[in-house]
Structure 1
Amino acid sequence: MKVGDLVIVSNLGEMKVYKANPRDLEAEAGLKPENIKLDLVNAVDYVEAHWKLQDIVTDEAGRFKADAGKMGGNAGERHELEKKMEEDVIKVIAEDIAKMVEQYNPPKYFLALPENIFSRVWQRVQDLQAKYPDVVNKLFRYVEEDLTKTDKNELPKIFKEKGKHF
């Protein structure tokens, strides 16, 4: 990781974007570009991911709560709603990744997403390549882990040890 690189860590609830800035004068002068510190430049909360189904749906499959047990309510509709909400958030995460790469225009970027959503988010990011051509090419390393709660000072080490290349 060098000065100017971007680090994006996200899960279904939040995204944090860090920029690698020089830690000392030698790094600033380009003599030791790996002497960096990560500064938070953007943070996004995905409110929809925090919603609970009971906040959206008021009763069981269109029946009053008192009748749900007797009438055998349909849980399938709730399951479909959960999947749709998750896919909506995944779509927004992919768009936000592409927008951050375009906005900050780093030489390269590092990405961390939880394993259970990584492939779906990355597929959406690739679908955006026509609109955001650098978003795929500038990805340097990725980690399939949720690093949103990780200390930012640990991130360079984690990407160096666990990071994978495409």
Structure 2
Amino acid sequence: MKIGDIVIVANLGEMKIYKANPRDLEAEAGLKPQNIKLDQINGIDYVEAHWKVKDIVTDEAGRFKADAGKMGGNSGERHELEKKMEEDVIKAIAEDIAKTVAEQNPPKYFLALPENIFSRVWQKVEALQAKYPDAVNKLFRYVEQDLTKTDKNKLPDIFKTQGKHF
């Protein structure tokens, strides 16, 4: 990790974006570009991820005909709503990654997402490649872990030791 690189850590609830800035005068002069500190430049909360289905729909299931033609309180659509909400957040994360890389234009960037959503988010980032080509091209290392609560000073070492090249 060198001066100018960015680090993006996210999960379904939030995203934090850090920029590598010089830690000392030697780093600023370009003599030791690896002497960096991470400064948070943006944070995004994904409010929809914190919602519960009960907050969106009413408490009672509607009264409509069940399969046998009798009146019933069938409520089999909740799981579809939960999936839709999760997919909306995954799409938003991918778009925010792509836009951030385009706006910041770093030499390279590092990405950490939880293992259970990494591939789905990355597919959406790749789908945006025509509009945001650097979002795919500038990814240097990634980690399939939730690092949103990790101390920012530990992130460079985590990416160095556990990070995978794409």
TM-score (norm 2): 0.93
Alignment of 1:9-28 (within 5 A): 9-28=9-28
2:49 match:
49
Give the conservation status (yes or no) of the 8 Å contact 1:102–1:132: yes
2:62 match:
62
What letter corresponds to residue 106 of structure 2 in structure 1? P
1:81 match:
81
CA distance in 2, matches of 1:136, 1:55: 36
In the alignment, does 2:96 pair up with 1:96?
yes
In the alignment, does 2:93 pair up with 1:107?
no
- Detail structure 1 runs of 4+ shifted over 4 Å in the superposition: none
Give the conservation status (yes or no) of the 8 Å contact 2:8–2:97: yes
Specify every segment of 5 or more residues in structure 2 that has no aligned partner in the other structure, as ranges: 64-70
Equivalent position SS for 1:32: coil
Give the conservation status (yes or no) of the 8 Å contact 2:62–2:73: no
Displacement of 1:60 in angstroms is: 4.1
2:66 match:
none
Query: 1:15-51 deviations in whole A, cap 9, x for unaligned?
Result: 0000000000000011100000000000000000000
1:118 match:
118
Query: Once superposed, what is the RMSD of the aligned Cα atoms?
Result: 1.4
Q: Which has the higher helix share?
A: 1
1:67 match:
none
CA distance in 2, matches of 1:61, 1:8: 41
Equivalent position SS for 1:120: helix
CA distance in 2, matches of 1:43, 1:62: 39
CA distance in 2, matches of 1:91, 1:72: 33
CA distance in 1, matches of 2:125, 2:60: 36
CA distance in 1, matches of 2:105, 2:60: 48
CA distance in 1, matches of 2:81, 2:60: 13
CA distance in 2, matches of 1:129, 1:147: 25
Query: 1:108-132 deviations in whole A, cap 9, x for unaligned?
Result: 0000000000000000000000000
Specify every segment of 5 or more residues in structure 1 that has no aligned partner in the other structure, as ranges: 64-69
